[in-house]
Amino acid sequence: MLDIVDKALDEAHGALQILRADSAMLAMISMAGGDLGHALKAGKRVFSCGNGGSMSDAMHFAEELSGRFRGDRRALPATAISDVGHLTCVANDFGYDQVFSRYIEAHGRGGDYLLAISTSGRSESVIMAATAARAQGMRVIALTGNRWCDLGKLADYHICTEGGRYADRAQELHIKVIHILIEIVERVVFGTGQ
């Protein structure tokens, strides 16, 4: 079993090294975090969405902003589209593909942000959310594991963490990117002391 542990860590290390060597992607992360921070500082909001493990990441992102990341500071307006009542109502009445887009249609406003997470970049519900966000005049940060996906084409910032053959490697990098985005946001909104 130790060989499984070693192989998993080697794969994770390799995926991280690929991301670290991609200067364009690192710049994309930096710009997305900076712009999101300026929007939040100006009173705008951020929404996040995804399916399965990406839903968990969307929730993690929102709670770190509205709750606490590294230091005490005021709460930031961040919401994961995860309300069970909303999701089941829309899935039942309109179809699952609209569970996120209907929320954005109801709550999103011009200048707000959407963090749209899909490892494949092909999740119809997340693509429809990004489409709805664009229609509302929102900005979109796409977090994917597929450089050439439809979701990326809808984004102002497409952050791709190509992790290899399996989605879990890309997802492991997603949480690193999410933490970096939050750190940048805190520095922009609250200064370098955070």
SS3 content of the chain, % helix, strand, coil (to 5): 60, 10, 30
Identify the pLDDT of residue 4: 95
Whole domain around residue 27: which residue ranges? 2-190
| Structural domain count of the chain | 1
Q: What letter would DSSP give residue 70?
A: S
Closest by alpha carbon to 104, among 92, 94, 95, 113? 113
What residues in the chain have per-residue pLDDT under 70? 192-194
The CATH number covering residue 94 comes to 3.40.50.10490
Identify the pLDDT of residue 193: 53
Distance CA 142, CA 155 (A): 6
Task: Show the CA angle centred on residue 167, arms to residues 108 and 81, nearest 5°.
Answer: 20
pLDDT digits (tens, 9 = 90+) for 56-112: 999 999 999 999 999 899 999 999 999 999 999 999 999 999 999 999 999 999 999
What is the model's pTM?
A: 0.96
Chain centre to alpha carbon of residue 178: 7
Identify the pLDDT of residue 167: 85
Pairing of the two strands 46-49 and 113-118: parallel
Identify the pLDDT of residue 163: 76
Q: How many beta carbons lie within 10 A of that of residue 10, not counting itself? A: 10
